[in-house]
Structure 1
């Protein structure tokens, strides 16, 4: 699963900085620390030391902290060198460490290998490991808080408590299989069905929370689509609060996708302003329109924008967009340029939302409708971050609980199937924390981490 050799990497981001951190992890790093600084380091104490090259010339004056395993992040010995943050300087520090660690097999770490070792050494579970990456990548304050809660083990505790309840129920059901003449009465006395209903309700709550957490973690792919010159770029600028897209009265100004990330009530939104959808002989514009359709096919929500001067051909364009939408993607119809109306409308026809990207009329209502359509419940308190993988596991577990409920209602002839469905639900939940995860998937998860983490 992972190499036993000691590993080293720069743990801070590339580029110039006041401080750069080099991290080493492995079994028994004591001899290496002594070779680097010609002294034995006391564990868990900050030491101001000078690191020299093989000629005795100073490379850097740095702070070294030595953690003796298992009392460390990875569970192994860890040496952390807090250097000055020049890229070339850090390269020299790495080179010197690799020289002195050559006999011990010191090698450069692979992406996520420090965190992987922490997981394999039972310092953290898989959801906590993923929370570390999510904390680094968090796109909003709410996402930071959610990742921090997952790192503290809140999500893991919820999963483990649910697994324990399913385990106890499974033990109860399986223990009755040897006594078929008494099993129904025994299960009724033990309130097996009531306990199953409680598990089902907790799983539903967990699934709802995971959906909210996935929104916080990944954000929403929001695509602005419509014919040329209906105000898509103006709407992007209004939502972003700055001029990120060029706006002119000339149809077809936007010839490629323009992307901007914002937050609406703490929810990350990745807004894509697309080229106006129309037939064209212009090669460049046609390429932009092709990319617009690609964006629509990957969207979480499409805002189909028209304006008060739009012609009847918009219905055909809307029909075409609906055919290209991915599963579960919603379309929000928005009527723009309300400022051009001689007599302002209180509401637009049907379910269409009336706005003016120019003046800001209706923009707040638009934001709230966006949040509603993407499934945001509006509460960030107690939120945890969740990934698509987590949500898939929870949904599969919920399916097996649904099946187990049907088998429980069938009586004697279905109790073995009842127990089996409970076992499958338990297995899928165990995949979330990594207890029952295939090695190839585990490697894929950690390969997405940054170097040095």
Structure 2
């Protein structure tokens, strides 16, 4: 895509299907003559003009609005034309075809835009940095209000500004170190005179705060995948319905009712929670047919990929020989540690709840809703979520990884600084690597293949 980023491009910029309004967008260099040939009038920049949108014979395809944004004052930084018509798919395809037809003599290189190419041009033309460009896609894809607001903060530059502030602080410290290395005859204790250790400590503290907020932002974007696991008829489907507040899964007393996974995304405190109800777990010998065996195999695959596993126990069946043996078999295969939560269902029956020393556990009733709030709070704790007083900016896993790499390099730099001035060259190198890691977030240091991967995930027309 990068090799063709000077070509003029066109695309339908609204979602497929019928709607009140549809938009066809054109971006390129020096579109003025093309706009006049296409519309038959000279448009006033940045003013909406209502006019007929005609075909090659001069017959109206539709009546709508045309807006012309000359470079550099446009979304892409190039000349941009937007045609707003009624949102029927046939109308928009006719307008798109007309744009390409007129271009044959004036803009022969005009082509259909690749996914995300308009936003990619905004990045390449310095209208957005890479973190802001990614926030465009995150705003479109936001699954909760909190995620949308956080993406909007990142799009406005809140995240980028914090990254730039960190980079400026590292650059200032690098400048002092490099100057000292360039003039070794100056016999000064650099680390003391320049307060290098103090500067580095403050940078690391700031980075820790940014990393914490980025982790929260990544959680808002990605959410947490939670798998409901357990033997048949312990209440997994009932718990899914209770958490979702809707009858999503079929609930019957018949073992093996759930044969395949049922997924639903809900939100807790704005954090997306991807809940997956799975087939009841039992041995292949107990499974009634091949379909149930396939469902059980898929359950184990989902468990392996889960961020958290809720192992449901039926309080009314504890103590039954066959049931307890099945519990032990499942527990032996489940992932142990932080990802596992024991959930004791049917607490409304008034039965005692077993103690799980050193393990996460919650007692609830999927039928009455008792204990659901405790489960929701526990899931947020598992995810590492905590409210941020200043608000969270959206972030991606690659941002978090880059911040962690930068923090690791600063930690090594601090180790060198703790030795003496004799390690200044190593100190300077770690600062450089930390600086570069931060640059990857905003796009100062980004490989073309990374850009292609990021923008290919956008919808066409954005």
TM-score scaled by length of structure 1: 0.96
Identify the residue that residue 237 of structure 1 maps to in structure 2.
241
What SS does the aligned partner of 1:82 have?
Answer: strand
1:5 to partner: Cα distance: 1.5
1:431 corresponds to which of 440, 452, 462: 440
Identify the residue that residue 75 of structure 2 maps to in structure 1.
73
1:286 aligned to 2:284? no
Verify the 8 A CA contact 1:23 1:78 in the aligned structure 2: yes
1:317 aligned to 2:321? no
Mapped to 1, the partners of 2:388 and 2:125 lie a distance apart of 35
Mapped to 2, the partners of 1:361 and 1:187 lie a distance apart of 59
1:55 to partner: Cα distance: 1.6
1:94 aligned to 2:96? yes
1:300 aligned to 2:307? yes
Label 1:381 to 1:161 Cα distance change in 2 as closer, same or farther (>3 A): closer
Deviation per CA, 1:61-94: give whole Å up to 9, x if none: 0100001000111010000001100001100010
Mapped to 2, the partners of 1:33 and 1:250 lie a distance apart of 67
1:378 to partner: Cα distance: 2.9
Label 1:183 to 1:366 Cα distance change in 2 as closer, same or farther (>3 A): farther
1:40 to partner: Cα distance: 1.1
Contiguous gaps of at least 5 residues in structure 2: none
Identify the residue that residue 266 of structure 2 maps to in structure 1.
262
What SS does the aligned partner of 1:272 have?
Answer: strand
1:226 corresponds to which of 224, 230, 236: 230
Mapped to 1, the partners of 2:346 and 2:184 lie a distance apart of 73
Mapped to 1, the partners of 2:44 and 2:187 lie a distance apart of 62
1:115 corresponds to which of 86, 103, 119: 119
1:54 to partner: Cα distance: 1.3
Equivalent pairs counted in the alignment come to 447
Identify the residue that residue 191 of structure 1 maps to in structure 2.
195
Which sits farther off after the overlay, 351-360 or 112-121? 351-360
Deviation per CA, 1:406-433: give whole Å up to 9, x if none: 0111113321111000000000000000
Verify the 8 A CA contact 1:335 1:348 in the aligned structure 2: no
What SS does the aligned partner of 1:80 have?
Answer: strand
1:85 aligned to 2:87? yes
1:102 to partner: Cα distance: 1.9
Mapped to 2, the partners of 1:352 and 1:174 lie a distance apart of 55
Identify the residue that residue 144 of structure 1 maps to in structure 2.
148
Identify the residue that residue 15 of structure 1 maps to in structure 2.
17
Label 1:39 to 1:290 Cα distance change in 2 as closer, same or farther (>3 A): same
Aligned CA-pair RMSD: 1.6
Identify the residue that residue 55 of structure 1 maps to in structure 2.
57
1:179 to partner: Cα distance: 4.1
Q: Which runs of 4+ in 1 moved over 6 A?
A: none
1:202 corresponds to which of 181, 203, 206: 206
What SS does the aligned partner of 1:59 have?
Answer: strand
Verify the 8 A CA contact 1:338 1:355 in the aligned structure 2: yes
Mapped to 2, the partners of 1:111 and 1:329 lie a distance apart of 39
Mapped to 2, the partners of 1:80 and 1:355 lie a distance apart of 55
Label 1:23 to 1:73 Cα distance change in 2 as closer, same or farther (>3 A): same
Identify the residue that residue 153 of structure 1 maps to in structure 2.
157
Label 1:184 to 1:335 Cα distance change in 2 as closer, same or farther (>3 A): farther
Mapped to 1, the partners of 2:260 and 2:166 lie a distance apart of 48
1:392 aligned to 2:404? no
Verify the 8 A CA contact 1:401 1:425 in the aligned structure 2: yes
Label 1:413 to 1:358 Cα distance change in 2 as closer, same or farther (>3 A): same
1:276 aligned to 2:280? yes
1:340 to partner: Cα distance: 2.5
TM-score scaled by length of structure 2: 0.94
